[in-house]
Each structure stands twice: as C-alpha cells, then as structure tokens.
Amino acid sequence: MYTGRLIRNIRMGIKTLLLHKLRSALTMLGVVFGVGSVIAMLSVGEGASQQALEQIRKLGSTNILIHSTRPTDEQTDGQRRRISIFGLHYDDDLRIRESFPDVLRTVPVKQIPMEGRLGSRSLDLRIVATTSDWFDLVPRRIIAGRTLNASDDDQRRNVVVLTEHGARRLLATASTVGETIRLGGNAFRVVGIIRNEEAVGGAQIPDSRIDAYIPLEVGKERFGDIILRRSAGQTERELVELHSIIVEVRSVDAVERTAEAIERMLSTWHPRGDYEMNVPLALLRQAEEQQRIWNWTLGSVAGISLLVGGIGIMNIMLASVTERTREIGIRRAIGARKRQIVAQFLIETVVLAALGGLIGILLGPLLAVVIREFSGIPTIVPAYAVILSVGISMVVGIVFGLYPAARAANLDPIQALRHE
C-alpha cells in the first residue's frame, strides 16, 4: 500500500514538472553541470595522481636511491681547482652491502659522457656502467636482444645495451643486435635495446634517452674514474668513483630505518655532504597524501556548482509553492495531511535532482574525455566519483526541498483557499 502511494506521488510529481518543461529543464542544469564537473575534476585529479604514483612505484618501494652531488665548496671555488673530487666511493657500496642485515643487494652506477660512433654517424651518449642487477631493480622492457648479465662483468666483455632513442639515432638502418659501435677508443658489441622511462622528480635514476649500459668492471678499466665535462666553453675534470648506488631492502617495513642507518654511516665518511638520498617509499606516501588533498580540493571546487544547483531548485520550488497556494488549500480542505503535502513537494525536488544527477553522470565522463584529448592530461573516472556525485545530488534535492515543502505544508487552509 505504501509503495503504491509512493509510486502515485512520483507520477504526480513528474506530471507537475512536465507542465513547466523549460523551467524544470533550466532548474536541472545546475545539478547536471554540478555532477558533471565533480566527476570531471575528480577524474583529472585521479589520472594525474595515478600517473605520478605509477612512476614512483617503478623506482621500487623497497629501494633506496643514493646519488653523488657536488658539495657547496666545490660549487663556489671549483674553477680554481685542477680537478674536482667528490661523490660516492666503491667502498661505500661495499660498506652498505656488508653492514646492514636488511640490505639484500646494492647496485653501483657509474656515469660517463662519451661519444658513440658507428661508421660516419656519431652521437653523444651517457654511458652507464653498472651490474646486471640494475635491470632487476629498475626493470625496463626489452625491445631486442638481452640486458647485461653477471658473466659480462666477470669476463670483462665489451658489450653495450642501448636505449631505443639512442639506437635509432646511432644505428639508423644498420642491424641492431650484434652491431659493433665505438665508445671513445673502444669497440663494443650491441647485445640489446631497451625502452627507457621518464625520470621521476628528485628520485631520478640513471635513465635518459641516450643511455648506453655497459658492465661496471669494463667501465672502470676502459674509462677510469676521471671525467671530462665541457660547459660554457670550459672543460672541467671530475673524479667521481660512483654516481649512484641503488639499495634494495628486504621489506617495506625496514626501508625507512635502513635509510636512516645508511644516512648516519655516509655522513661519517662524507662530512662535506657530497651525496643525496631519495626514498621512493617516502615519495610514494607523500604523493598519496597530496592526491587526497588534491581530490578534496577539486571535489570541493566542483561541489560549489552543486550547491548553486541546489539553491536554484529551492528557488524554483518556492515559486511553485506560491503558484499552487490555492491547490494546496483545496487538498488540505478535503483531508490531505501535512506530511502528504511535504511528500508531494519533496518528491518533485528529488525527481529534479535525480534526473539532473543521471544526466550529469553521462556528462562527467564526456568532459573527462574532452579534457584528455585537448590538454593531454590523463583522466581516470573513479567509481567513487560517480557514487559521490549522485549521492550529493540526492542530498541536495532533499535538503533544498525541505524548506519549500515545509512552507507549503504549513499554509493555513482558509488563507490558501482565498489566495488568487
């Protein structure tokens, strides 16, 4: 019985709204654009955040990244020095690997700017001398051939793995895997090509468009530790044994305490502070917190339009109460109760809000697609955005419909019947 009465009231509400189609449609627009903008804004925030989080996850949540940096005194008077000496040492890698029980393995990395040549073609490369473990801790998709393996280091093989961009520039139409290129004065055989990834903010790892990976021991023997860098027409000599050390920790729970212990040890051996440490896990947590703040901000901004839509609904329903005062008086005179009058007007506002919300659900993903196509910003429509938007639109309908409904129910029947 109750269900049948509710269905009749809904039908009556829809019928009443259809008597003023244009007014009802314009009233719904506020809710439509409110719901659509909430979904679109949250989609932008979710897409951008997920992209950043994914890049950080690629660095490894159980990894610690340590990089050599030029100390302050080297930056200020480096031009007066014949050679700049700073950064991580081979011994640092050994100490970290053997001193901390939670450290599974370390990956030392040495970077050497060097020209690569194949016939008449040449390209300035960044040689990354490292171990085969690098490709386990920072995986890259193999396009052709293979990556470095342990035997390459043990047997001091002159082999190189190129990134896709460098391979295209240097090898051009030549065969890829098996081709011999010259790095400085040494011949290296190309054994693989990988797809490189973009660097992630302060947690940059050895990865650029023109990297060439060689075994660490080969890099030490063939090119030594002194690097020549040319900038602003000047040539600088640097002695840096290792440019980076990637540390893999046994578990996520042990990452932060291990990082603190490594920091204390390095500060003892490097009083000049010629290194920096990045913990992807900390970056990940920070990014997740920023994502929550970002989503709340975008959702709140978009929610203002829903508030405006609710005010529009209340305004139009108040006008409807004034127009239908005599109708309300007649219904009260023939026995209608206050709660029935409240239900009638409340159902009309909820129907307006619900229809606007449903249309907004269709509009929101469409807006997200338009934003992605024209701005290039990644967008992901999260399920919670749809549920949240529809829920808010229904709440808006109820909250902003209560006052007009209560005002209609509290009209004096005698005065309502006299209303012209």
pLDDT in tens, 58-117: 667 788 999 999 887 665 454 555 788 889 999 999 999 999 999 999 999 999 988 998
Instruction: Evaluate whether 30 touches 360 at the Cβ level (below 8 Å).
Output: no
Average of pLDDT values for 350-372?
Answer: 85
Which pLDDT does position 55 carry in this prediction? Answer: 67
Distance, in Å, from the CA atom of 48 to the CA atom of 64, rounded to the nearest integer, reads: 24
Distance, in Å, from the CA atom of 96 to the CA atom of 81, rounded to the nearest integer, reads: 30
- Report the helix count and the strand count for the chain, using DSSP H and E: 14, 13
Average of pLDDT values for 334-340?
Answer: 71
Beta strand pairing call for 275-278 and 63-68: antiparallel
Containing 405, the helix (H) or strand (E) segment is: helix 383-409
Distance, in Å, from the CA atom of 152 to the CA atom of 136, rounded to the nearest integer, reads: 16
Which pLDDT does position 4 carry in this prediction? Answer: 61
Residue 97 amino acid letter: R
Which pLDDT does position 198 carry in this prediction? Answer: 57
**Average of per-residue pLDDT values in the chain:** 80
Higher pLDDT residue, 231 or 362?
Answer: 362
Which pLDDT does position 202 carry in this prediction? Answer: 46
pTM as predicted? 0.63
Vertex 202 angle, CA 254 and 42, to 5°: 90
Which pLDDT does position 204 carry in this prediction? Answer: 52
Distance, in Å, from the CA atom of 2 to the CA atom of 416, rounded to the nearest integer, reads: 28
The structure tokens listed for 85 are 């000496």
Higher pLDDT residue, 209 or 399?
Answer: 399
Average of pLDDT values for 366-372?
Answer: 86
Distance, in Å, from the CA atom of 307 to the CA atom of 348, rounded to the nearest integer, reads: 18
Poorest-pLDDT segment among 101-105, 134-138, 291-295:
291-295
Average of pLDDT values for 32-43?
Answer: 82
φ and ψ at 177, to 5 degrees?
-65, 130
pLDDT reading at 213 higher than 70: yes
Among positive and negative, which fits the CA dihedral 413, 414, 417, 419? negative
Beta bridge partners of 126: 113, 211
Tokens 């950043």 sit at which residue? 52
Give the SS3 label for residue 198: coil
Instruction: Evaluate whether 302 touches 40 at the Cβ level (below 8 Å).
Output: yes
Distance, in Å, from the CA atom of 370 to the CA atom of 65, rounded to the nearest integer, reads: 38
Calculate the alpha carbon distances from 403 to 133, 290, 311, 329 in Å: 68, 38, 11, 18
Show me where the domains of the chain are located.
2-55+286-418, 70-273
Burial of 235 (0-12, 13-18, 19+ CB in 10 A): exposed
Give the SS3 label for residue 248: strand
Distance, in Å, from the CA atom of 162 to the CA atom of 179, rounded to the nearest integer, reads: 11
200 confidence band (pLDDT: 50, 70, 90): very low
Instruction: Evaluate whether 134 touches 194 at the Cβ level (below 8 Å).
Output: no
Q: Tell me the CA end-to-end span of the chain in Å, nearest whole number.
A: 35
